[in-house]
Amino acid sequence: SQQGEEDPQALSIQEGENATMNCSYKTSINNLQWYRQNSGRGLVHLILIRSNEREKHSGRLRVTLDTSKKSSSLLITASRAADTASYFCATLASGAGSYQLTFGKGTKLSVIP
Amino acid sequence: GAGVSQTPSNKVTEKGKYVELRCDPISGHTALYWYRQSLGQGPEFLIYFQGTGAADDSGLPNDRFFAVRPEGSVSTLKIQRTERGDSAVYLCASSWTGFDEQFFGPGTRLTVL
């Protein structure tokens, strides 16, 4: 079963604009990870944010986490055509013996040159 | 350094046949995971290895699916009596520990005719 829900399902923006994607989840987590996927093949890890963190940055990426609302957001600033891909959030549930990531269905981002 | 590799990249088989999918994780990573991704969906967890042992196989859909990691490095996912519903991209990932970011391979696209 899939825990996360990304919103929106699809997003189309002009190059240079910012893109914001949201993720909601249902259970308590140890950490939340964002991935990018091109053409339905391998996933590229973007950022991991732990449950005791509220915000992380990596280059043009900014991730926030609100555990009280069970939600996270991914902001891509100054988007480029090469950012066109599907973006997934994945949660690692808290609790002993749980190491599987649970993914949402993803947000399909199109950046128009 | 080398990332996670998977072979073959594509596999076409007939209903009822047996297939093996191979994963070579990043050197030194003790944790290894298999996921399955259907079109338009996020990856779904199948099995997690810590070292040589399957620590969590709760995602395997039925007893036709089996995976091994005999020496704690390379893993093989085995599917017996394949069915058309098994068609998907099978993704392998590895990480240092169960709490770290998971690095994914390019996947094997399995098509069952």
The more confident residue out of B65 and A2 is B65
Among B43, B42, B54, B49, smallest CA distance to B90 is for B43
CB contacts under 8 A, A 72-111 vs B, are: 88, 90, 92, 97-106
Peptide bond connecting B43 to the previous residue in cis, omega within 30 degrees of 0: no
**Would you tell me how many other CB atoms lie within 10 Å of the CB of residue A40?**
12
B82: contact with A, CB 8 A cutoff: no
Peptide bond connecting A8 to the previous residue in cis, omega within 30 degrees of 0: yes
Please tell me the distance from the alpha carbon of residue A9 to that of residue A3, in angstroms, as a whole number. 15
A68: contact with B, CB 8 A cutoff: no
Q: Which residue of A1, A41, A49, A56 is the best one to mutate when testing the B interface, meaning the one whose CB has the most B CBs within 10 A? A: A41
pLDDT on residue A1 = 46
Pick from A4, A40, A42: CB nearest B104: A42
Q: Which residue of A43, A48, A91 is the best one to mutate when testing the B interface, meaning the one whose CB has the most B CBs within 10 A? A: A43
Chain pair A-B, CB pairs under 8 angstroms: 67
Task: Say which DSSP state A51 is in.
Answer: T
Among B52, B16, B80, B20, smallest CA distance to B7 is for B20
Where helices occur in chain A by DSSP H, the ranges are: none
pLDDT at residue B48 greater than cutoff 90: yes
Q: Label residue A40 by pLDDT band (50, 70, 90).
A: low
| Least trusted range by pLDDT, from A5-9, A40-44, A59-63, B24-28 | A40-44
Please tell me the distance from the alpha carbon of residue B82 to that of residue A104, in angstroms, as a whole number. 26
Q: How high is the mean pLDDT of chain A?
A: 91
- pLDDT, tens digit, 9 for 90 and up, residues B24-43: 999 999 999 999 999 889 99
A52: contact with B, CB 8 A cutoff: no
Place of tokens 């394949």: B82
CA B77: distance to chain centroid?
A: 5
* Residue A10 burial (C-beta neighbours within 10 Å; 0-12, 13-18, 19+): exposed
Please tell me the distance from the alpha carbon of residue A13 to that of residue B88, in angstroms, as a whole number. 30
The answer to whether B60 and B46 have CB atoms below 8 angstroms apart is yes
The residue type of A29 is: I
Among B80, B108, B78, B79, smallest CA distance to B92 is for B108
Sort out which chain B residues have CB atoms less than 8 A from A35's CB and list them.
Answer: 104
- pLDDT, tens digit, 9 for 90 and up, residues B49-106: 998 888 899 999 999 999 999 999 999 999 999 999 999 999 999 999 888 899 999 9
Angle at A79 between CA A78 and CA A84, to 5 degrees: 175
- pLDDT, tens digit, 9 for 90 and up, residues A57-92: 999 999 999 999 999 999 999 999 999 999 999 999
